[in-house]
Chain A
Amino acid sequence: MASLVGRRLIALVAVMFGLVVIVFALQAVIPSDPVRAMVGASASPAVVAQERHKLGYDKPLPERFVDYLDRLAHGNLETSLRTRNPVTQDLGTFAPATLELALSAAALAAALGVGLGLLLVGGGRPARLLRLGLIGGASVPTFLTALLAILVFYSTFHLLPASGRVSDTLVVPDGPTKLLLVDSLLHGEPNLFWSAFTHLIMPAFTLALLPALAIARTLATSCEQIMREDYVRTARSKGLRERRVLVRHALRNAAGPALTMSGLQFGLLLGGIVVVEQIFAWPGLGLYLDQSIAYSDFPAITGTTLLLGAAYVIVNFLVDLAQAWADPRIRTV
């Protein structure tokens, strides 16, 4: 287990370093002048030069890269060119919304994935129809799901709000967790909880849909293979009912591939966050990243990329741990 943790920590550092390299390489490849964009059209050349010097943009890219790594090692992600805040401060502002959305979507994806996966294993015509439905669902891009959800649940039936994290007239508490579902309960504010919950439903569902379908199909395939194993035949021969055999004997052993898929799907989920936050005006990292890209705000882009990359590595590490729990043979590898 210690070596697994060690390997993952090394992977985390390597991934972070790789991401920094990629974002810096992009700065070199994409011809842009974020400093000019920041100070504006009428700024005198002297003002532009002064700002360029202040931000260190007048140095050669390799030198800036080394400076950035040095600052990164001290937890300094530089200052956003757009918001003019330290990037760490901006991430602190935007990350809780994304965390709440990602957590909810992940939980929803897991629940939906396992539920649908078990239904698929049942076999027969309903399972075949469901499988067809899943294939169809998996082919719908996230932005289309989001638009359809807004049209149906907001515009047509007026059941759910279309945008934002909470109703605009409610007072949002500043902590302690900055997860509105949690904070509203901690502050004893059911109205705020309900508002946050209803605002969360559509974006979380939209984000969860594709990962859920992938998990369901992987789990079903894995279960079907396991159900052909000798020990399952033995269990059946003891007279156990099929559902009990599936849940009691097959599911844990079939969980490995589904867990791997869950880890991979988390990456997909993070990728979908930009689109989902854009459409639902969800004030999270996706929205921050999108606005930063339009501004060539490289410190903000790099900071957000590093954070999301770290999250991806950590999630996959946790998935590895879960797999080791599910299948003790892995622990010895």
Chain B
Amino acid sequence: MKLSRASLAPICLVAGAFALAGCGAASTTSSGPSTSGASGGSSASSQILRIPYLADMSVPDPDIFYDIEGNSVILSSYDGLVTYAPGSTRIIPDLATSWTISPDRLTYTFHLRAGVHFHDGTVMTSASVKRSFERRLAVNQAPSYMLKPVASMATPNPLTFVVHLKSPVNPFIDYMASSWGPKVIGPAALVTHAGSDHAETWLATHDDGTGPYELTSFARGRQYVLTRSTDYWGAQPYFKQVLIKITPDIGTQQLELQNGDVDAIMHSFPASELNQLPSNVHVEEFPSFLRLLLYVNTNKPPFNNPAVRASLRSDVNIPQLVAEAYSGTATPSTGAYPEAILPNQPKLPYAPNPKLATAGAKAASTKSITLAYTADESGVQRRVGELIQADLEQAGWKVTVKEVQLPQVYGYINNLKTAPDLMLQTNTPDASHPDTWARILFDSTGGLNFLGFKDAAVDNLLNQALSAPPAKATSLYQQVGQDVVNSNEIFFLGDVKNVFVLNKNLTGVEQVPAYPWTVTLADLKRVGG
């Protein structure tokens, strides 16, 4: 059929209306600068590493960043004074080659590495470290708490940096090794781009660290590009560039990994699919401090009754639950703290007992309860929720399972009467020290104390433990753990592993348990590349 020009008019009209429709949308959005930028090289090569993120990181500013997604960007572009050895909680040198702690535990003296350059070419000195620490305090965002105990800082020579604390702080050296701990930022960049916000605007899309990679592009929502630093002080990384692409759907990530368009999936790979992987990928699992917890709301019936709460110990077969939901990528928790950061904890008193479980439900003033879980892309928390629901219903409870978002969870503390009765959440400590776990979870003002656990004795023990001599502190942390376990207000269900699914030719995977979802990008290599 041949259409005349006139007869095309209605077709063009409809098409034109749609086209104009789009223009209408554009006209209201064209203002405002764009951060979209260029990506790295001009052609794909074996020396480009591609990894996906499920979501944008908040900002690549180490003094503001406090998420998990994005850790690899921060840890690749910045260095701290110390770090953790791969696979352990042992603190090893990073920008400080050695350090001493005074007998009164108030003075930390760091001897800095010589010949370290920032990405802008300037030399790192003790003044740079001091300036970075001062900036963290001035920016005063979440990670600043690690430097709040600092009384003063000194730079007796360019390669010696001294920190004086107001009072002893046992986890202080672990704060320095934390992935969210203080990082050293080029002072020249901080001055040049200071603006009125301590260079926050500039550092939201750039870096000036001393790490093996430089953040050369930060296109929010699309892709971040890390480019190998030319004068990195350590071993030269294998990959020239790391392209971190925002791919919010785990299914798409899986297909791209299978087709070789990405090199690795760093987290949230559905555990149930790990045994059906194609031959071109492999799995590497590492212990982590990620822990699955069940919070109990004791601020309303039925779990304000200690006896009813105690029966929860008998409701769930935890080893079976963990095995079924995580398909071998988690193990049942053995104590209130991750075993690696606090050894010799008493065994958790959880054991399935149908009689006790039924009795508990019978004694409850209401049998209708709500179990909330935070949304996760892998769906594992939903699965855990459903399994717990089944166990509880067998005991006589009527359970409604619901998915919630993290900000909602943070809001529960403001109105605990309307908060769910039970809540599942996976958390991790900031560092490999029991204080960084206990203080956010068990202290009455702790940030992860979502359902209002409150015990004045625990608060008191934690305050003592912070400054107590190390041996005494260990026993105090153990006592805190025991008190929390005995309260039945937080149940410790599973220790979740870091699971990386990688292309078969990718080797050199090094992982630190305290750095969740993160591998050391500079150590990765491609064999046969």
Residues of A within 8 A of B (CB): 30-34, 36-45, 47, 50-51, 75, 82-86, 88-99, 102-103, 106-107, 109-111, 113-114, 147, 150-151, 154-155, 158, 161-165, 168-172, 174-175, 178, 215, 243-244, 247-248, 251-252, 254-255, 258-259, 262-263, 266, 278-281, 283-284, 287-288, 290-291, 293-296, 307-308, 310-311, 314-315, 317-319, 322, 325-326
Contact of B221 with A322 in the complex, beta carbons under 8 Å: no
Residue B365 at the chain A interface, CB threshold 8 Å: no
Residue B30 at the chain A interface, CB threshold 8 Å: yes
Instruction: Return chain B residues, CB-CB under 8 Å to A40.
Output: 66-67, 141-143, 447
Instruction: State how many angstroms separate the Cβ of B308 from the closest Cβ of chain A.
Output: 25
Contact of B255 with A262 in the complex, beta carbons under 8 Å: no
17 contacts between A and B (CB under 8 A): A34-B410, A40-B66, A41-B447, A43-B447, A84-B204, A92-B33, A95-B30, A96-B26, A110-B18, A169-B44, A178-B34, A255-B14, A259-B17, A280-B252, A296-B407, A296-B408, A322-B17
Nearest to A315 among chain B residues (CB) is B21
The answer, among A84, A92, A322, for a CB contact under 8 Å with B29, is A92
The answer, among A158, A162, A172, A279, for a CB contact under 8 Å with B39, is A172
Q: How far is the CA of A103 from the CA of B32 in the complex (A)?
A: 21
Known: A92-B32, A266-B21, A322-B13. A172 touches B38 (CB 8 A): yes
Contact of B145 with A150 in the complex, beta carbons under 8 Å: no
Q: How far is the CA of A310 from the CA of B27 in the complex (A)?
A: 10
Contact of A178 with B6 in the complex, beta carbons under 8 Å: no
Contact of A172 with B37 in the complex, beta carbons under 8 Å: yes
A-B pair number, CB within 8 angstroms: 304
Residue B9 at the chain A interface, CB threshold 8 Å: yes
Instruction: Return chain B residues, CB-CB under 8 Å to A75.
Output: 31
Instruction: State how many angstroms separate the Cβ of B14 from the closest Cβ of chain A.
Output: 5
Instruction: Return chain A residues, CB-CB under 8 Å to B34.
Output: 92-93, 96, 174-175, 178
Contact of A150 with B39 in the complex, beta carbons under 8 Å: no
Contact of A99 with B29 in the complex, beta carbons under 8 Å: yes
Contact of B14 with A83 in the complex, beta carbons under 8 Å: no
Q: Interface size class for chain B?
A: 35 or more
The answer, among A31, A39, A97, A147, for a CB contact under 8 Å with B414, is A31
Contact of A169 with B24 in the complex, beta carbons under 8 Å: no
Contact of A163 with B408 in the complex, beta carbons under 8 Å: no
Q: How far is the CA of A45 from the CA of B444 in the complex (A)?
A: 11
Contact of B407 with A215 in the complex, beta carbons under 8 Å: no
Contact of B17 with A307 in the complex, beta carbons under 8 Å: no
3 closest A-B pairs by beta carbon, nearest first, are: A92-B32, A41-B447, A106-B18
Instruction: Return chain B residues, CB-CB under 8 Å to A94.
Output: 220-221
Contact of A45 with B259 in the complex, beta carbons under 8 Å: no
Instruction: Return chain A residues, CB-CB under 8 Å to B64.
Output: 84
Instruction: Return chain B residues, CB-CB under 8 Å to A255.
Output: 10, 13-14
Residue B283 at the chain A interface, CB threshold 8 Å: no
Nearest to B407 among chain A residues (CB) is A296
Residue B59 at the chain A interface, CB threshold 8 Å: yes
Contact of A36 with B445 in the complex, beta carbons under 8 Å: no
Known: A163-B245, A169-B39, A319-B17. A314 touches B221 (CB 8 A): no
Contact of B32 with A163 in the complex, beta carbons under 8 Å: no
The answer, among A252, A262, A281, A317, for a CB contact under 8 Å with B9, is A252
Contact of B21 with A318 in the complex, beta carbons under 8 Å: yes
Q: How far is the CA of A102 from the CA of B20 in the complex (A)?
A: 11
Known: A154-B255, A164-B222, A287-B246. A44 touches B410 (CB 8 A): no
Residue B144 at the chain A interface, CB threshold 8 Å: yes
Q: How far is the CA of A155 from the CA of B27 in the complex (A)?
A: 37
Within 8 A of A (CB), among B4-26: 4, 6-7, 9-11, 13-26
Contact of B411 with A33 in the complex, beta carbons under 8 Å: yes
The answer, among B13, B41, B148, B445, for a CB contact under 8 Å with A169, is B41
Known: A172-B219, A278-B248, A318-B17. A33 touches B410 (CB 8 A): yes
Known: A37-B410, A83-B56. A283 touches B222 (CB 8 A): yes
Q: How far is the CA of A43 from the CA of B65 in the complex (A)?
A: 12
The answer, among A82, A296, A315, for a CB contact under 8 Å with B24, is A315
Instruction: Return chain B residues, CB-CB under 8 Å to A248.
Output: 4, 6-7
Residue B223 at the chain A interface, CB threshold 8 Å: yes
Contact of B405 with A32 in the complex, beta carbons under 8 Å: yes
